[in-house]
Amino acid sequence: MKKYRFNRMEIAGSLGDLGTLLPLIVGMVTINHVSPTGIFYSIGLFYILSGCYFGLPVPIQPMKVIAAYAISTGMTYSQISASTGLVCIFLLIIGATDTISMIGKLVPKSVVRGVQLSTGILLMTKGVSFVIDGAPGSQLLEPYLSIQSAGPLPITIIIGIAGTVLTFYFLNSRKYPAGIVVTLFGLLVGLFLGTYDGMSRFTPGFYPPPLLPAGLPATTDLTVALFVLVIPQLPMTIGNAIIANADLSKEYFGEDSDRVTYRATTLSMAAANGLSFFLGGIPLCHGAGGLAAHYRFGARTAGSNIIIGAVFLALAVFTGPHVILLIHFLPFSILGILLLFAGSQLSLTILDMFARKDMFVVLTILAITLASSLTWGFLAGIILAFTLRSEKFDI
């Protein structure tokens, strides 16, 4: 397989992570005052370096447990920075010692599929939420659009329906890939209906990468980050970002994914979080949901990583802290459509589960995830899967 392609399909596939990335970036910049320059530098470099090493489409996403909790509780920039450094150390240890490979071999396939289904459903749910409820934490559905409704219909519903129709119509088109069409449609809506709030402050220039903009975290920040952010994140990182992601890559790309091992994936994320720590970014990971989105929208080579990585780097270099103003032109309902289709692609991986016991494990993980979190779903799924191996138990 050709390692790099730079065509329409790769461009479309490269947009697969935006539905997850952009809302969390906006939240952490707005609420936690994280440096947008540091975020875009670290993400851009991670995209390019991981794509060059693995030679395949590689998803890049924020660590969702950390991001969601930090945004919802308004944690400080220093605490988020501390979590990034601690995640780097943990991943480096289990990757360098290859402990992660032993863990990966012990995790049953039904648990992997349960994690993939749960992640997919969470993405779909969040996508629908963006279309129905609009921007999270805002009194307006689309806070950066001048129109909030057309008669009785909210603007998010109108944009969401149009985006869904466009996605279905162009989903299998190679001439006009759905990812590009829907994203361009969203940008046009933002340009024509946008409020342009803050654009008077927009100042292009040359912005070098920041170095430790949050400073070195204090001991109290490290303690809070460890127990409140990092420990709750780790099971999801192991289950989804490492094991489920590597297994899905092998399912999509076969022998071409030989480099996408549990150990390599872990060390890749360790290096990324080390880089992100020094640049003032956020905790980053790979993820099965992002990979499903890249693949569904057309990415088949590392060219997709080079494309989107170059975009993130260019925005970091030439717009710096003002990049957040440009993100506002893409409506949340369009990000919701991207999430909806990404989640559906990932959820469909359970189609190879035929045994009743395996499906029970998958559905139990989903139920616990929806009721609490993917962390508890993953842990409960492992216990249940090993318990059901006994002939004493039947479903």
Burial track 136-169 (b if 16+ CB lie within 10 A, e otherwise): beeeebbebbeeeeeeeebbbbbbbebbbebbee
Dihedral in degrees, nearest 10, Cα atoms 24, 26, 28, 29: 160
pLDDT of residue 351: 87
CA-based radius of gyration for the chain = 20
Q: What are 35's two structure tokens?
A: 């440096």
CB-based contact 360:332 (threshold 8 Å): no
Helix or strand holding residue 154 (H, E): strand 153-154
| Mean pLDDT, contiguous 10-residue spans, the chain (395 residues) | 85 89 88 94 97 95 87 89 96 96 90 88 89 87 92 93 93 85 94 92 92 92 91 87 93 93 96 96 92 91 96 96 92 90 86 91 94 88 92 81
pLDDT of residue 352: 86
Amino acid identity, residue 111? V
Helix or strand holding residue 62 (H, E): strand 61-62
Q: Cα separation of 160 and 165, whole Å?
A: 9
Which sequence spans correspond to the domains of the chain? 8-387
Handedness of CA 160, 163, 169, 170 (dihedral sign): negative
Within 10 angstroms of residue 308's Cβ, the number of other Cβ atoms is 28
Q: Cα separation of 212 and 209, whole Å?
A: 10
Amino acid identity, residue 19? G
What is the pTM for the complete model shown?
0.86
Nearest Cα neighbor of 261 from 51, 98, 106 is: 98
Q: What are 221's two structure tokens?
A: 């920040």
Amino acid identity, residue 197? D
Q: Cα separation of 185 and 164, whole Å?
A: 11
Please report which residue ranges of the chain form alpha helices under DSSP H.
8-14, 18-30, 36-54, 64-73, 77-96, 99-106, 109-133, 155-170, 178-193, 219-224, 231-236, 245-253, 262-279, 288-296, 303-319, 323-327, 332-347, 356-371, 374-387
pLDDT of residue 147: 93
Total residues found in the chain within this entry: 395
